[in-house]
Structure 1
Amino acid sequence: MHEMAITIALVDVLNEEIERAGGGRLVDVVLTVGGLGALEPGALSACFETVVEGTALEGARLSVRRLPIRIHCRGCRADGICDEHFRCLDCGGTDLVVLGSEPMRVESMTMTK
């Protein structure tokens, strides 16, 4: 389960950001993951709860948003995003070229002093 290793690295980054901000308590963090990443949002959330248990981050809430995959449809020539079944949202076609996906990143953090 690579979600655990990623979560451990995420917690390290969050702790560094809290220290850089002069301390405080993390309340909420929003993480975005690209649609091409093999990351399961539910597994990330479960790993987060486990990793932060007994630490200063315990009680913080992790929200994970999966971002869509950008595609070009050869059928209708539309550029856009595909659905979870890799079909063009414009025509329903499946002859797609993947243009990309966003990397994982911390979108926002909410802290209290």
Structure 2
Amino acid sequence: MARSPVPVELHVDADDRLPEQVEVSLYYIVSEALTNVFKHAHASVVHIDLTEEDAEIRLSVRDDGVGGADRSGGSGLTGMTDRVEALGGTMRVTSPTGQGTSLVVTIPTRDLAR
């Protein structure tokens, strides 16, 4: 993230490696989210938080940009949602105009092999 055009603050709180399919999906979700921030948000900072608790992964990607993210405007948010739902998870996007964007992903890990 040293080459990021926007500062990224990262916090990870997980005891072990995550199931491979979760790690791969989270990688692509974070990559797409950061691409969206760099292209559209005009943000000054991005916060990424990953926590594992009670057989559940929670990923949060938040920026302080212009907001107004629209799922109908392209395939990025749709692709992220498809990846999350394929793992039995959910994704919530909050993006009021002028107030930044928050993406919260929750993925259950109880039934996934490590």
Length-normalised TM-score, structure 2: 0.29
Give the number of the structure with larger relative contact order, counting CA–CA contacts within 8 Å between residues 6 or more apart. 1
- Pair member with larger Rg: 1
Length-normalised TM-score, structure 1: 0.29
